[in-house]
Structures are given as structure tokens and as C-alpha cells.
Structure 1
């Protein structure tokens, strides 16, 4: 299995299996979990609960204790070692991930999004997986093709779907320019010194290098070993200038030439055709359920449409009727949703406005209307109802890039006593519109302090780059203060259709029961209840959190006037602290209930 050198070697008639795991009826019913494979698990942890519910007594990495906090940076020299380790492969593997499927299942996860698993340029430390050298093989530091098949099979056995992170826009740094990496200059094509050999030296001709060089030199499959595969125009400097952001290299990652023409009459290149067949192979061999497509903004819309069309046709032919394509589309809401309409992708990854407004609203620094208006009816997105957003955007508040934060990158828990409000922001993510996604380590309260990409990519399994500036301890702890609470909220989400597919309304509140209005910033920080309803048919679920981290807050909250009788009540389905078990419906601002929410608390009533 695997080790194909050419697209021509792929015999789909024999690769296709007799039966595949069916797609979900609705992706908005799912809860995603995004993990960087190198930073998740190496399978050597001790004392965690395995897939069958048993405590593992083997392994050589013990569970993190509070006394292990910053044990890796006690001296200047140790701190330098820990920092340096964050720029290299740490050792996570597919076998390690397979051993933690039960952990994810108990958290309530129903779909895992795995960072790219494909073979990387061997001479470079692209632990994140975005520097692909071979599109038909697995990075050996991660495992083998069979290991990927086993991970997916184990996930499916536990009722969990698998989404692979894939790259179409670029390859790894597989060749060198003459005189080094140039900057983009008005579409100028630069001379290339050659493909890189196994040591990273660009001394191989920019054409087919021969099977004897396989697997660590140039680029594979061999159909990509031509000059026409690459645009060769240097790295992007102006990220919003067209055509620069479409033609330029992504730093040292080399831009691939996809074809030419307008969207409706796009002519795909042989490169794009080969890549599309390569990704069909991974669906066929591993039973993948969806793709997250990297850097869609930097691709021709026609290329994205071609890929989406071919993949959808293929997956329908093997009866995966709802194979999901999620695009990473930067540049704001308008660009994202126009791209979906044009290309046929299923959903956009909400990495701009959504995480910013979600994080800072919960911390009291954004007006709630700024967040909830992202999902309202709007001519801007050419849709008549905000219900459309339920399955068209993947929502998250932490991720592995955090482009929005510039040089101040850190997880939610790092600043503003964020750990106190962690359940509130997770609750918002899980119960507001969109397909919710948790970033690995959230359930362990990771802080990601440091200001750089590497620090928000901590290791769950320790080794030399553990979370909280630690080493040699793991974080698969199901008894901490967050894991079980997140699992409870996910369970409630699964039990109530309104929380997954319902309409959404930000609710007006009142302190005195007479004067109502939407919660808003007054001064530097808002200490208030923020409440919203999800309504499906005749069922309303009311969710709310308290931005005040120090004090209990009480407020009247407006609810739907037509769905409730006066003196009836809403039952408390979840509370992250002590809250009333039920609240009575009163005649205020139409109809309202009086909520009491503990400091930084989150509640659900229905």
C-alpha cells in the first residue's frame, strides 16, 4: 500500500472499496476538533484512558501535575532548548492519534480535522505539514499509509468522521531560485537553479529526476516534475494585490500553476489534474469524509471549482453523498461567501471576524451585536435568512495561525484571565450558529503564551515542547475542570435540534425589568449578561453567559412572545455554576425571564 511514484499507477477500479462509511446527514450536527498531528500524541503516554475505557499503565510519559508548570524553562539554557524545540518535529504520530480516539469520543467530538499528513521536504522542519514533497505518500515521521487507514477505521468505529487538511495552492520548498528566494515583482518569472536533493541543495534539473532519486528529492508524483508545474514568480509581499496573491509563492513554499481562464471556462493544468487525482486516491484508500482546503484565497476560483466538482462527483460515485469541503478563505466575510457561491465549496473557515469577536465579546471588549450581526439576514451575502449560516461557516476562537493577532499570538486562556471564561466561550461556540470547532488543548486550558506561532502549537504529549512551558509530561486528563463541562454542553447540543439547526437571535436585556436594550460596551469593558435564542419550529433554547469574571449578574432577558405562556417556565439544561433550576416567564418587553448567572458563567435554558 502506498509508495506510488506516478498518478498513472493509480488504478481506481481496484483501489475503490465495496463499501464506505456514509456521510453525515447534516454537518451542522457535528462538533469538530482540529489537531496538529505532530503536537497531539506519540502513543507513549501513561495513565490516560484508552479507547476501550481502560487506564493505560504502560508508556513512559506521566500525566501533567500543577507542579510541572514551566518545568522546562527554569534556567536560561533550558528555556532556549524549549523554545528551539517548538520549531521542530516533536514526535506526534498517527499511531498516537489512533490511541486517543476514545478520549475525543468522551469529550463529545464527532469529527476530527487532522493537519496535513503527507510527506514533507526531508531537509526542512515543516512539522505543521504544509510543506509537501510527495502528494502520494505519508510523512514517515507521522507513520504510514496503513496507519492513516487504521486511524480512520478506528474513528469510524467510534462514530467519528475524519477531515483531512490538504494543500492545492503550493508545494513545499522543493526547488531553489538562482540567487535565493526573490520577492514578487510585477509578475516577473525568475530563473530556477534546480530541484532540491535530499540534503536540500538545488542541484537537480527541473524535470523528471528519475526513480533512483526517490523518495527524498524533487517533488512527487513524477507528473509534477516539470517547470510548468510552478509559477516561479517569487514570494508574495502584498497579500491583497491581484494577481500577486494568486501567482506568488507562500514565503518559501512554491506556488503551483493550476491553469487559466475565467471561472466558467477554466482550463485546468496537468498539475491540477494530477493533484485532484492524488486526493481522490486518499479518499478511496482511507475512507476520508471531508477536506479542509488550505489557502483558498490564493487559488484561481476556476481551479477551486474544478477541484470541488471532480471531488464531489467522485465521492457521490462511492456513495459518500455529503463529503464536505471546507475552504480557508481569508479576506473577510464578503470574499468568503462569494467564494463559496462561485466555487461550490460547502463551508468557509471562520478565521477572521468570527474568532476575534467571539473571544473579545466573551472577555467584555466587543459589542455583542458585532458578533451576532455576522450571522444576520444580509443582502451582503445574498441570502434571505440567517439560517443559511448554520452549515456554511466553521466557527472557532483558537487556531494554529491566528493571523488576526499579528505578533501578539496567544490562546484564549493566555490573557485577561481567560481561563475563568473558558467555558463561556466554548459554550458560545457550541451553541451559536455555524459548525463549531475546538482547537486541540482547549479542553486542557492551554494558554499558548509567547507571541509566536510555535507557542500556540504546544505538545499534548510533552517531550521537549509541552504546554505551559513544560516537558516530559502529557495532558490527556479527563478529570480536569473543563473536559467534563465541555462534554456536558456537547451532549445537550446533540439532544436539542434548535442548538444545531435553529434560527438565532441576540436578546435584549434589562437590569430593572422595565428598560430593555442590547448589551453594549460602556467604557473600557462590558460587565453584562449576553443572551441569545436558538429557535427551531416551536422550540426555543435560551443561552447566556456573564462577561463579569468577579460578580454574579442578574438580568431580565427577552424571549419569543409567541412560544411561551405567562407563568410557564424554562428549565435549566446546563449551568457552569449555581443558577436557578427554572425561571418563570413574565410580561416584560413582551415576554422575558430573569436570569442569574455566576461570575464568568454559562447557562442553557429550554
Structure 2
């Protein structure tokens, strides 16, 4: 087996070894330390199940199963005798119950292990994923709210809580999220994306949880698997779908399998540490050198994040089943896949296709951090790519629109600048098979906070947020934006991931309540809430057509419309000047209406055939009659 130079280096450097977690054994002679998935369900559309079994010399045993409706299709071993992969066929006649996996040597059964098959929730296959009808709230659990201080530290995990360290663990947890679901519902949120909650047992900066050390276990400092399932159930009661952040590109060096890899090609290995070149464009570049492509997809994301090889079919099955397991177990409403273009694209296309076949109405969004619409569009399902590639990925992230939102800061107007930037962005929507299935946002956990970009300017924020709430796509708001939370990216990621005020016992300020917010913060909170609650009840904004007009004189006008309703949005980006809107220019959209009402200010527009004036740095969302 090839020597993992970088892993050895890390083991020496980190000195504090990661603890190996073992399953509780019913008998000390049973050499099974792990069975994954932890359980499964009968009645799945895909009848095949891979069970990965880990234990000393487990591959030297012959597995047998005698359970009605279940048969072993094949048994796969690798060069590591401590792993055994059993592929089962679970017929539609199979019933829920405890299935016994027997382990034989010769003509003798040496031991057995119980495996649970369960019934699925009613309607599980038809579950609805998040869509353009939703508004997604992104939070980092460690920084949102601490509902259970008793789990701030845990004997099985290395890093301990230190709220004084900007990059340390602060103690936020699942209970803290549950405690504030009513706050999110009141705000108008209908989908919740939490950054990963699975165990990250790295000794430093483990709070972000993107270096996963156990794919089937919620980090005990956040809670338990059952707590996560309870979060999904409580969110669902409030009309909020739960989106899981999935990391398929890499695990953490503290992952239990890093001490005993299932196969040499389970991860990408190099003689010395080799980092990704982060050149996503090499994937679709017809002239890219093979060495550059290899570095993008096979280089490690960081020293603590070994790069997984999705081209290994055993690993790919493992990752797909892990996602399906969490969807069924926790009743999820969507997946978000981290660092999507760094994975092997053909393998991930199979990942997406198999999940969407199991759940035809589900949704998966990939993090596609590139800056041109044509680059983003490449990754969306059914894109007309010259190389014929189809990602099967339903949703992608509109980073080009985030770039274009800089227009609302101090950028001057010009032929291709200023308010023209979002117009140009939308004008390229012909590249996307489904532009309504783009996640749109002003900021997230990896970027400069929008309030820092806008330097606290409320009028500019209202322009930004009005655009996000009324254009095509799925709006995503980053936690704390609704109460003007700031953070400087140059100070490190920890500063853009500050604690939500009031989320910790003893906090002197509680921004979860109107009394705990300043007058300015309440103005912003109320603006966001009113717009989102209005959006929730207006399907024309969810799937209605979009018609926009070339911006003139620093203002932008567009319409959302369907057979039932028509909305006119006006954004005046002028720093100081009010603008007179000549309505004759928009007659093709206004010929059948006479009046309207701005839902933001309550202002009545009594005649839509002449003109009206809009103040500088002001947005209007006019319901047309």
C-alpha cells in the first residue's frame, strides 16, 4: 500500500490523536467495529444496498443472509482485509424487521450481527424539495445559538469550547436552532440550510465542520442524530424545509478510515502534500492540460481535508447511500453539495441522477463558485454543453449575480457598469436550462458580509434585498443579515461568522427580539419580514415570467407576471436624484392596467399611463391592478 506521506506528517504534527469510535459489540468476540449505513428501508425505488463492514480481518469471513425478500447479490473485498462490502437486493416483497447477517468460516457460523430494515414515511418518495417558492436561511450552527451548554465540550472530541477565540468553537448547537424556529417562521423563512452538522474531530477550527470525521454521526457538540431528526420535524411543523450541507469532495484527516483506508484509491494520494490549484475552469476548458485538470479535481483542498476519489465505485455508492440515508432518516427537503466542481464530474452526475430518481420532486444545489454565467450554467442539469456533459444537478449558485450586486455600492453608471450589471446578468439566462432554479444571494459564510460591503447603508440594502426577493431564482439570506450583522473577510473567516447576539445565555443584547434590536435594526428586520411574508403568498414571484427593460438614467424596471397577476419593480440607484419614470416606455406591460400600489411604502399609483417620481436609492414593488 502506498505510504501516505501527508497523513504521516499530520499525525506527527498534530500529536493529539483522533479517537477511534467503535460500535458497541454484543459479544467481545464479534470482530465488527462498524456497519454503514447504520440501517435501511424497505420499499426503496433502488432495490440495491451496499453495506460496508469494518473490523479486524472481516474479509476472511463469508457473509450469509436468510431473510424473506433479501438476497446477497455480490460480496466485494479490497486489498485491505479489514473491510467487507456486501451488496444486497431488497425485493419489494421484503418487510421491515431485524435482519441477521451471518458470518461463516467453512461450514461453521462464527457470529451474526443484527441489521434493521424499516418502513419508509408515507409519501417519502414524493417529498417536495426546496424551490423558487422558498426563501433559504443559511446559518452556521456553532455561531447561531447555544440551546444546550451541557454539550459545549464532549469527551470524544478534541477541540473544546472557547468563545473568546474568533476561530474556535463557540457552543452553538441544534437545540439553539430549534429554540429559534419561531423567529425564522416570523421572518418569512421557508427553508433552512445549516452548514455541516456531522462530526468534525479536528483539533483546530472544527467549528465549520467541513472536515468531516464521521458521515453517519452528528457532532456531539451539536447534539445527537435524534436531535437532528427532531430539528427537521420541528421545522416542518412551521413550513420550513431542512437542507443538509453535504461534503463529497473531501473528508477530514481525523476521519476514522484515514487510519486504515478501505483501498489505496479511496483518496487521492501524492508523495508529498499537493493542494488543488482551484482552477475550476479547467474542467470545461477544451485546451486545458491534463496536469492542470488533475490538480483541480485530485489536489487536496487543505492539509486537513484529504481529497476523496469519487471514481472509486465503492466510495461513490457509499456517498450516495449516505445522502439517501439522511434524507430518509431526518426527512430532509434538500441537499447542498460543497465545493461541487472539485469532485469528479461524471461520478457526481451519477450521484445526482440516483438521488433524483429516488425522489423526483427533490432538489440539490451545488456550490459553483465561478464568476461568469456560462461557467455556472455548465453545471446545471440539461445544459447544452459542447462536450455533451450533463451534470444531472438540478440547481446551481448564482455567484455572477452576487458580483453584479456591487452596483448598489458606489459604482458609477456606464454602458456596461452600474445598474447595467444585473441587467446583463439576467440577459444571459438563456444559458441556463432552468434559471428559476438558481440560488441567489448577496453573501454567505465564505464571502464578505453585505452590510460590510454597503458600510451599513440601509437604503442601499433595501435595493439589494428587493432585487433578490423579486427576481427569478431562490433567494438565500445569511444569518444576521436581517439585523445588520457585519464582518470583515480580511480579518479571517471567523469575523464573517460572528455569534448571533442573544443566542447565548448571559448575552447582554438579544437581537432575536424587537426590544433587543436598535431602531435601525428593527427597520431592516421589518423590511425583510414584510417583503418575505408578501413573497410567500405571491406565486407570480415564484414562477411568473420575467420581463425587464434596458436601464436608463440609473434606474432599472422589470416585471413579474402570470395569468393571474402582474408586478412592476422599480430600482432607482441614483445617489441623490429622484427619477421621473415615463410610463409610456413600458406600455407593452401596462396597457391592460390602470393603477397600482407599492407594497413597500403603501403608496398608491393612481394613473399608470403618464409618469411618477421615485426618490434616490429607493425601490418600489408595485402590485398592478
Provide TM-score, normalisation by structure 2: 0.69
2:495 is the counterpart of 1:455:
yes
**1:499–1:100 distance in 2 versus 1, CA, 3 Å:** same
Q: Name the CA distance, whole Å, in 2 between partners of 1:119 and 1:377.
A: 40
CA shift, 1:103, in A, is: 0.6
2:623 is the counterpart of 1:594:
no
CA shift, 1:462, in A, is: 5.6
Structure number with bigger Rg: 2
**1:10–1:156 distance in 2 versus 1, CA, 3 Å:** same
Unaligned runs of 5+ residues in structure 1 are 46-80, 175-216, 260-267, 403-408, 509-517, 521-527, 588-592
Give 1:184's aligned residue. none
Q: Name the CA distance, whole Å, in 2 between partners of 1:376 and 1:160.
A: 32
Is the Cα–Cα contact under 8 Å of residues 33 and 440 in structure 1 kept in the other structure?
Answer: yes
**1:8–1:115 distance in 2 versus 1, CA, 3 Å:** closer
- Count of aligned pairs: 472
CA shift, 1:503, in A, is: 2.3
Give 2:233's aligned residue. 153
Give 1:476's aligned residue. 512
Is the Cα–Cα contact under 8 Å of residues 584 and 609 in structure 2 kept in the other structure?
Answer: no
CA shift, 1:274, in A, is: 1.2
Which secondary structure does the structure 2 equivalent of 1:585 belong to?
coil
Is the Cα–Cα contact under 8 Å of residues 357 and 371 in structure 1 kept in the other structure?
Answer: yes
Q: 1:7 aligns with which of 8, 20, 36?
A: 36
Superposed, which structure 2 residues align to 1:252-267 within 5 Å?
Answer: 252=303, 253-259=305-311
Q: Which runs of 4+ in 1 moved over 6 A?
A: none
Which secondary structure does the structure 2 equivalent of 1:131 belong to?
coil
2:266 is the counterpart of 1:219:
no
Unaligned runs of 5+ residues in structure 2 are 1-21, 24-32, 43-116, 150-161, 280-291, 382-389, 516-521
**1:279–1:474 distance in 2 versus 1, CA, 3 Å:** same
2:122 is the counterpart of 1:19:
yes
Superposed, which structure 2 residues align to 1:345-494 within 5 Å?
Answer: 345-350=393-398, 352-361=399-408, 364-365=411-412, 366-376=417-427, 381=431, 388-391=434-437, 393-402=438-447, 409-449=448-488, 451=490, 452-461=492-501, 473-478=509-514, 480-494=522-536
Q: Name the CA distance, whole Å, in 1 between partners of 2:585 and 2:129.
A: 30
CA shift, 1:538, in A, is: 6.5
Give 1:67's aligned residue. none
Give 1:135's aligned residue. 215
User: Mean alpha-carbon deviation: is it higher for 538-547 or for 291-300?
Assistant: 538-547
Q: Deviations over 1:13-37 (max 9, x none)?
A: 3244332566348711111111111
Q: Name the CA distance, whole Å, in 2 between partners of 1:34 and 1:539.
A: 30
Q: Name the CA distance, whole Å, in 1 between partners of 2:241 and 2:338.
A: 19
Give 1:540's aligned residue. 566
Which secondary structure does the structure 1 equivalent of 2:560 belong to?
strand
Q: 2:189 aligns with which of 109, 117, 121?
A: 109
Superposed, which structure 2 residues align to 1:183-582 within 5 Å?
Answer: 218-219=256-257, 225-233=262-270, 234-236=273-275, 238-240=277-279, 241-252=292-303, 253-259=305-311, 268-314=312-358, 316=359, 321-331=360-370, 332-341=372-381, 342-350=390-398, 352-361=399-408, 364-365=411-412, 366-376=417-427, 381=431, 388-391=434-437, 393-402=438-447, 409-449=448-488, 451=490, 452-461=492-501, 473-478=509-514, 480-508=522-550, 518-519=551-552, 528-537=554-563, 539-548=565-574, 552-557=578-583, 560-565=586-591, 569-576=594-601, 580-582=603-605
Superposed, which structure 2 residues align to 1:67-82 within 5 Å?
Answer: none
CA shift, 1:307, in A, is: 0.8
Give 2:103's aligned residue. none
Q: Name the CA distance, whole Å, in 1 between partners of 2:350 and 2:377.
A: 18
Which secondary structure does the structure 2 equivalent of 1:482 belong to?
helix
Q: Name the CA distance, whole Å, in 2 between partners of 1:329 and 1:494.
A: 27
Give 2:132's aligned residue. 28
Indicate the RMSD between aligned Cα atoms, in angstroms: 3.0
CA shift, 1:8, in A, is: 5.6
Q: Name the CA distance, whole Å, in 2 between partners of 1:9 and 1:101.
A: 29
